[in-house]
């Protein structure tokens, strides 16, 4: 019943948010549900035995548990930011926004706990539908364009993923005489599946869920959606939703590994990972919109995750660690970028120069977050990226190692060309100091908290987290008996 509660709690809070008539009261439901949700997730991860019977529709393993922890922790901190965000806009009607925000958590939780490919597909599609109104929240021509692009491209991707599920079911029907897409059943019987149909199913799943994850060249919705969404929504998309889509791809990888087809699966994933790094390096150069810059940074780190899993071994452990670090760091970057955008009324570098002198906490977090996401020590992102790089060297890929380092260096230089003037440049003073929204304890404290967690993990990785990363990586490396 615990797993069902994790899913239904935010959904019930969303219904309550739709019924509550007081705009000032509705935002309180978001952190109340989020913090309770985080407590339930920690309790589920700490449980010694299984929380669901074998071959059930819901269940929790190390991969799903890690993704659920990432989503819940990020959401809990962003929910605190949301309180301060709504106080900056006391006259806005927040009924739809708060309800969709809570349904978003419910749908992501369902995706992480789904043990049936059909249920996983429904959950991922639900995240698309409930997050679209969040992107459209500013209600201007740019946000509606971004929303429609997000809906159209992600829906096409999800449709392709549905074809992939059907192909896998047909592979089971031809090879095993049964079209059962329950995950435990698939892992146990995948070695008997029809190989051509299984391979076709994986390719469609990779392209479909890769679109939602934002792997290049399937990423074209990201710059618009991240650029027009409020900062807290951008943080959830870049840190939470991409992690859920990555989990869906990892489920497909598990099936391919169980069938003995992990070599071709890794080649496909590696190709998209390298392409993502290349696209990010090309488009981040001279990108002067800070939110669009973060979108291309997200494409980069999705590529890093794909490369880590594709290489295998130590790099897979690094990818699990990196998923956690990327989510929290992206959350800090988008929240601080949202504060800067709201104060200046602009996202363009030329109009927000020298923000450190005006917004010391938010701009400081944005600068430190840039150093963190670029893999600078002592932040934990450095450790996870270094683990992936060590794994690449250990696997005997010198050309990949050299290209990996070169592309990361180009992306670092490109981002620095935007971040440094925005934070450390001469103060923009053509019409006086901007007089927009100021920092508050909640809006400045939430991104700072996320960044401090990433910094602390650079010095000390708690044993339970290390164990969780190792167990999640092992699920992708070991073929079920």
| pLDDT confidence of residue 431 | 38
- pLDDT tens digits, one per residue of 49-106: 666 666 689 999 999 999 999 999 999 999 999 998 888 776 677 889 999 999 999 9
What letter would DSSP give residue 289?
B
Spatial distance between the Cα atoms of 103 and 14, rounded to a whole number of angstroms = 6
Torsion region of 436: left, alpha or beta (phi above 0 gives left; psi -120 to 50 gives alpha) = beta
For 303, residues 6+ apart whose C-beta sits below 8 A from its C-beta are 215, 216, 272, 273, 274, 275, 276, 277, 280
- pLDDT tens digits, one per residue of 420-456: 999 987 775 443 344 567 788 899 999 999 999 999 9
- pLDDT tens digits, one per residue of 182-208: 999 999 999 999 999 999 999 999 999
End-to-end CA distance of the chain: 29
* Chain position carrying tokens 């889509």: 245
Q: Are 281 and 411 a contacting pair, CB within 8 Å?
A: yes
- Helix (H) or strand (E) holding 32, with range, is helix 26-46
- pLDDT tens digits, one per residue of 300-354: 999 999 999 999 999 999 999 999 999 999 999 999 999 999 888 888 888 888 8
Residue 298 has pLDDT above 50, yes or no: yes
Q: Is the dihedral of CA 108, 112, 116, 121 positive or negative?
A: positive
Among 342, 440, 366, smallest CA distance to 92 is for 342
Spatial distance between the Cα atoms of 103 and 166, rounded to a whole number of angstroms = 27
What letter would DSSP give residue 378?
T
The answer, yes or no, to whether the previous bond of 283 is cis (omega within 30 of 0) is no
Provide mean pLDDT across the span 214-223: 93
Q: Rg of the chain's alpha carbons, rounded to an integer?
A: 21
Structural tokens at position 412: 């670092």
Spatial distance between the Cα atoms of 467 and 45, rounded to a whole number of angstroms = 11
- In terms of Cβ atoms closer than 10 Å to its own Cβ (0-12, 13-18, 19+), residue 461 is middle
- pLDDT tens digits, one per residue of 99-156: 999 999 999 999 999 999 999 999 999 999 999 999 988 778 888 999 999 999 999 9
Provide mean pLDDT across the span 257-273: 94
Provide mean pLDDT across the span 260-264: 93
Instruction: Centre a 10 Å sphere on the Cβ of residue 401 and count the other Cβ atoms it contains.
Output: 18
CA atoms within 13 A on the CB side of 237: 36
């Amino acid at each position: 019943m615990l797993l069902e509660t994790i899913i239904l709690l935010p959904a019930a809070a969303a219904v309550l948010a739709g019924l509550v008539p007081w705009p000032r009261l509705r935002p309180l439901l978001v952190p109340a549900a989020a913090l309770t949700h985080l407590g339930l997730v920690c309790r589920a991860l700490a449980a010694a035995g299984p929380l669901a019977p074998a071959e059930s529709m819901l269940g929790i393993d190390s991969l799903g548990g890690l993704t659920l922890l990432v989503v819940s922790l990020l959401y809990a901190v962003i929910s605190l930011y949301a309180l301060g965000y709504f106080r900056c806009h006391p006259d806005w009607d927040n009924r739809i926004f708060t309800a969709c925000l809570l349904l978003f958590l419910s749908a992501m939780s369902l995706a992480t706990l789904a043990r049936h490919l059909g249920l996983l597909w429904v959950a991922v599609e639900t995240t698309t539908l409930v997050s679209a109104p969040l992107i459209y929240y500013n209600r201007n021509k740019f946000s509606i364009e971004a929303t429609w692009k997000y809906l159209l491209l992600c829906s096409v991707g999800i449709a392709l993923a549905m074809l992939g599920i059907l192909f896998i079911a047909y592979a089971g029907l031809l090879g095993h005489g049964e079209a059962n897409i329950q995950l435990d059943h698939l892992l146990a019987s995948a070695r008997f599946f029809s190989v051509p149909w299984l391979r076709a199913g994986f390719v469609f799943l990779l392209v479909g869920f890769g679109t939602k994850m934002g792997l290049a060249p399937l990423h074209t919705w990201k710059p618009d959606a991240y650029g027009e969404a409020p900062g807290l929504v951008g943080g959830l998309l870049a840190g939470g939703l991409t992690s859920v889509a990555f989990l869906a791809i990892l489920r497909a990888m598990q099936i391919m590994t169980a069938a003995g087809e992990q070599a071709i699966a890794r080649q496909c994933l590696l190709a998209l990972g390298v392409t993502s790094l290349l696209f990010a390096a090309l488009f981040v150069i001279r990108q002067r919109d800070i939110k669009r810059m973060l979108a291309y940074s997200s494409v980069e780190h999705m590529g890093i995750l794909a490369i880590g899993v594709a290489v295998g071994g130590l790099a897979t452990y690094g990818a699990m660690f990196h998923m956690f670090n990327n989510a929290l760091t992206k959350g800090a970057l988008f929240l601080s970028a949202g504060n800067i955008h709201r104060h200046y009324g602009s996202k363009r570098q030329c109009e927000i120069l020298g923000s450190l002198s005006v917004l010391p906490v938010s701009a400081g977090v944005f600068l430190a977050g840039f150093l963190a996401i670029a893999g600078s020590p002592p932040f934990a992102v450095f450790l996870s990226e270094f683990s992936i790089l060590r794994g690449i060297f250990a696997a005997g890929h010198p050309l990949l190692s050299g290209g990996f380092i070169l592309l990361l260096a180009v992306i670092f230089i490109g981002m620095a060309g935007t971040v440094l003037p925005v934070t450390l440049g001469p103060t923009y003073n053509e019409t006086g100091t901007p007089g927009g929204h100021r920092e508050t304890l909640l809006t400045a404290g939430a991104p700072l908290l996320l960044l401090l967690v990433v910094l602390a993990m650079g010095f000390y990785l708690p044993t339970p987290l290390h164990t969780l990363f190792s167990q999640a990586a092992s699920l992708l490396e070991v073929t079920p008996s």
